Amino acid sequence: MPDPDLFLLRLARALLDKAERTGNEQGIKLKLDRKHAPELYGHIDADSQQAVVLKLETLCALGWTTLDLGKPRDFAGFTDRDPHLVLLDFEALAAWCGYQRRADAWHRQLIQYIELSGAFGGPGNSVQADLLDYLSKSPLRALEGWPLHEAADCLLALHALCVSGQTMPLREASARVFHARSKILDHREELLRLLGAASGQLFEAPIQLLMAFPEEPENFDAVLFVENLVTFERMADHRQADWAHMALVYAAGFKAGAKRLRHPQGCRIYSRQSAAPTQAALERAARWLFDNAEMSVFFFGDLDFAGMQILARLRDGFPQACAWETGYAPLADILSHRQGHPPEAAEKSGQIDPGITGCTYADNVLLPLMRQSQQFADQESYVVRA
């Protein structure tokens, strides 16, 4: 572990401060320009600059940050490549450099305010004790800076809503109690339980699953999730033998892996066709989706780490899902001939290698190829013949 060099400490704290201000704790970038890294500029010799670069590389080797550099060019030095420091692990870097979140002081004040006001019934009340313990471990950063009494009143209103038993969409509940802000309760299931909500009382909006059925819609024999809308539309418009009998599904990013996709209350099936699909087709889709009817499931998306993350998440709900080799093989050929793009060229340097997906083809062929080539390929590179 590198010594707490003043140069690295300053950069680390500037990067963390920017991450906290933007609300994005992963993938945020700090430009290593004359303002933030003057040590790299001015009248310094090559050896002195290399010593500074070595410090940066030593810090990045810990895995909390990485360097994002432009394409190498003839006679281009480090600073000519538009260097950026990219954040990968907020908490680890903050612990190393002693960074204190600006929000921490406000949250301590909120906890103290709730304790002293007795708004939730005082020290002997189990709801108050559980709430304060929760807030100490999982701060509501979206409320940072609010007047303390307003934040406490909103939590009281949420508690009243939870114990009322009233059902509604989660984001509607958030907007109702948090001054029309709809996303504060996202991923806050534990808070809702502590405040008295029953399971499923405040529910996420159903996923809208867009499907394109084949010519004989009631007889589709496999399902192909397609990540990008352009490719989905092209494949639906120009059916070819490899997917002639497949039902195509627009994957809509990581939502394709949501477990609620497998429940009737959590998903709505929509047909791309202007003419309504047959009832038999819809029933077959519902049996596959909700009743676990046996069906081959494939995924086709960008050949990058994010695409493989989607595949891994998709397999949480569809354990048999695997990468669609027919589509990925041409993209893999692009990488094999080193005709893809480096991650930084398409703002993908912050993507995280998923390690393994559980799909044999992805884990044994696609991921090793990306790691070896250090390149990606977008799904739209796949040619759909009209």
pLDDT of 141-154, one tens digit each?
Answer: 889 889 999 999 99
At 10-55, the pLDDT tens digits run 999 999 989 887 777 788 999 999 999 999 887 778 888 889 999 9
What does pTM read for this prediction?
A: 0.65
pLDDT band for position 254 (50/70/90)? low
pLDDT of residue 124: 78
- Hey, is 138 helix, strand or coil? coil
φ, ψ at 304 (rounded to 5°): -150, 175
Helix H segments across the chain? 6-22, 46-60, 90-97, 102-117, 126-137, 148-164, 170-177, 189-194, 229-237, 279-290, 305-317, 325-336, 360-361, 367-373
At 328-340, the pLDDT tens digits run 999 999 999 999 9
Stretch 212-217: mean pLDDT, rounded? Answer: 91
Instruction: Say how many Å lie between the first and final Cα of the chain, rounded.
Output: 56
289 forms beta bridges with none
What span, in angstroms and rounded, lies between the C-alpha atoms of 302 and 341?
Answer: 12
What span, in angstroms and rounded, lies between the C-alpha atoms of 231 and 225?
Answer: 11
Top pLDDT among 272 and 194 is at 194
